[in-house]
A and B are shown apart, each in its own frame.
Chain A
Amino acid sequence: MKNSVERELPENIMNKLNLRPYKSTEIGNPEIQRVAPKVRTTTGEGKLVESLEKVVKDNVKNGMTISFHHHFRNGDFVFNQVMRIIIDSGIKELTLAPSSLTGVMNNLVIEAIKKGTITAITSSGMRGELGEFVSHGGLKNPVVFRSHGGRARAIEEGAIKIDVAFLGVPNADKLGNANGMEGNAVFGSLGYALMDAQYANKVVLLTDNLVPYPNTPASIKQTQVDYVVKVDKVGDPDKIGSGATRFTKDPKELKIAKTVNKVIVNSPYFKNGFSFQTGSGGAALAVTRYLRQSMIDNNIKASFALGGITKPTTDLLNEGLIAKVMDVQDFDKGAAESMHTNNKQQEIDASWYADPYNKGAMVDQLDVVILSALEIDTKFNVNVMSGSDGVIRGAVGGHQDAATAKLTIISAPLVRGRLATVVPDVTTVVTPGDSVDVLVTEVGIAINPKRKDLIAKLSKLPGVKIYSIEELQKMAAKLVGTPNPIEYTDKTVALVEYRDGTIIDAIKEVKK
């Protein structure tokens, strides 16, 4: 069975799980039924409990789906505390459905898989040893990778039914009112966790900072929370995000960033009230700085910035160059603090951010987005999930979702070391080429031939060479040579969903 981006999908698994192959970026106007969680009613007495063990034993049963958020990133202390207890309790056959998995969780996830505690995983991504483990067939059932918007959709539709959500927060009161902004291990927006708080049957908050009732502003509300557990520490603030954002000095990244800025400024979207999203990579941060100068020079202001937020973006907010920041997560301390102090920085949940089955998500209003790529192919398909060696080492994140913007720019170097970034076919298709408009590399840009309007607009940019993407691919191949093809077995280790739940690619087990 092939989908519309020519990817071979495993027919038996597709049929067994009743999955549909990816067809189109068009979502249309389907009517969908949302689900609602089971609620054990209470007046709120006895929510505050001492023993995490007791909460786990009373609530987590064989075969359940449990979830976590990844806002603490590599400073997370919550996941390992909870998973240790679950493994030691001998609970089996759980589905792990976190918003994403970070490196600090890897060891315990692998242990839980080996012991039969976890038998299925859905996540935005995975890296390091866990990626290696899964890519070499360590988990029996294929992992399902979803975008942040896709996860929100799956939760609302009931494709992910969370039995128990364990959510770490830097503050909470005894009834469960909590936010991500005050306390020791602060991370700002609770965007991804808000889905779990709203839709899980049981919501367990873990906090190291009990505050007087009622706690405001409450991002997670007492109406959603079953238990509040006091723990020693929920996270390491130094590892949650980079402290001060470093500005890249890499001349290649700076050249790419400058070119990205030229593309934006000369596009039809650069006008008063435009909106944009940038990622957290070195080039993306540099773009924000160049864009700032262009906005000042041209007296242009943005209506909003969206997505994962960094300090360079909140600086523009403070300067009045952006009217609003719509914030689903914060990548550094500066951005997290700004959410606390600036009421023009709005916390949004993953559904509001990017859910395609919605009455309108923020990404649908987005003019310009700058995204990165591990690989991009001559069909403009982008891979942010697996390395050129076939091993899982990334995350869908908001890539597919934000790529629905009116102008989607992929910024990437032509080659990284000996690996070509621009390739004939990506290892794994994550974002379909239909939603990608311009590729910016250090040698020049390639415009998706479907965007004739952009080709006309951008054809005479001073200092920017335009190539066809095939030319860029050949240039890369000439530099690095042609790699031996990666060998796979027949076993499917992961499926990548498009944001609407159709399957855009399958990842096979890598031969040892």
Chain B
Amino acid sequence: MEIKRTAIAGTLESSDIQIMLSKGTEGIQVTLKSDVEKQFGDQIRKVITSVLKSFNIENAKVTAVDKGALDCVIKARTITASQRALEIADSPEWEVL
């Protein structure tokens, strides 16, 4: 699926993650800022990428600012950002959820 507009989900509160999605041309490019980058950077990228794949998003620029979010939070924020970016927030893809 093609990203239609730049979309954002999440906050900069502790234990949250802010995900910004915008159009890209070179696959999924994740820019991650996190205090736990060393310990959990790979895992955070993996969760984001797998959610995008489940929406069939193949090209996207992702800017993620992590404040120590757990995987479930990362997943939820990425789903919301994806639905907004794809402009399907009113008719969510339930099978992805």
Chain A residues proximal to chain B, CB less than 8 Å:
388-390, 416-419, 479-481, 483-484, 486
Contact of B68 among A389, A390, A419 (CB under 8 A): A419
Q: How far is the CB of A132 from chain B (nearest CB, A)?
A: 13
Bound together, the chains give a CA A479 to CA B69 distance in angstroms of 11
Given contacts A417-B14, A417-B15, contact A479 B70 (CB under 8 A): yes
Asked whether A484 lies within 8 Å of B14 as measured between CB atoms, the reply is: no
Given contacts A417-B14, A417-B15, contact A388 B67 (CB under 8 A): no
Chain A residue at smallest Cβ distance from B37: A389
Which residues of chain A are near B35, meaning CB under 8 Å? 389, 417
Chain A residue at smallest Cβ distance from B15: A417
Q: How far is the CB of A44 from chain B (nearest CB, A)?
A: 54
Contact of A484 among B42, B66, B68, B70 (CB under 8 A): B42
Asked whether B39 lies within 8 Å of A388 as measured between CB atoms, the reply is: yes
Asked whether A389 lies within 8 Å of B71 as measured between CB atoms, the reply is: no
Q: Do most interface residues of chain A lie in helix, strand or loop, or is the interface mixed?
A: loop
Instruction: Encode contact with A along B40-51: 1 for CB under 8 Å, 0 otherwise.
Output: 111100000000
Counted as pairs of residues, one from A and one from B, with CB atoms less than 8 Å apart, the total is 42
Which residues of chain A are near B36, meaning CB under 8 Å? 388-389, 417-419, 483
Chain B residues proximal to chain A, CB less than 8 Å:
14-15, 35-36, 38-43, 66-71
Chain B residue at smallest Cβ distance from A482: B43
Q: How far is the CB of B10 from chain A (nearest CB, A)?
A: 14
- Which of B36, B42, B69 is the most central at the interface, judged by chain A CB atoms within 10 Å of its CB? B36
Bound together, the chains give a CA A417 to CA B71 distance in angstroms of 11
Asked whether A481 lies within 8 Å of B71 as measured between CB atoms, the reply is: yes
Which residues of chain A are near B66, meaning CB under 8 Å? 418
Asked whether A486 lies within 8 Å of B39 as measured between CB atoms, the reply is: yes
Asked whether B39 lies within 8 Å of A417 as measured between CB atoms, the reply is: no
Chain A residue at smallest Cβ distance from B14: A417
Asked whether B38 lies within 8 Å of A480 as measured between CB atoms, the reply is: no
- Which of A388, A389, A417, A480 is the most central at the interface, judged by chain B CB atoms within 10 Å of its CB? A417
Bound together, the chains give a CA A265 to CA B49 distance in angstroms of 51
Chain A residue at smallest Cβ distance from B47: A481
Q: How far is the CB of B73 from chain A (nearest CB, A)?
A: 9
Asked whether A486 lies within 8 Å of B38 as measured between CB atoms, the reply is: yes
18 further contact pairs, Cβ within 8 A, besides A484-B38, A484-B39 = A388-B39, A389-B38, A389-B39, A390-B38, A417-B68, A417-B69, A418-B15, A418-B40, A418-B66, A418-B70, A419-B68, A480-B40, A480-B70, A481-B43, A481-B71, A483-B39, A484-B41, A484-B42
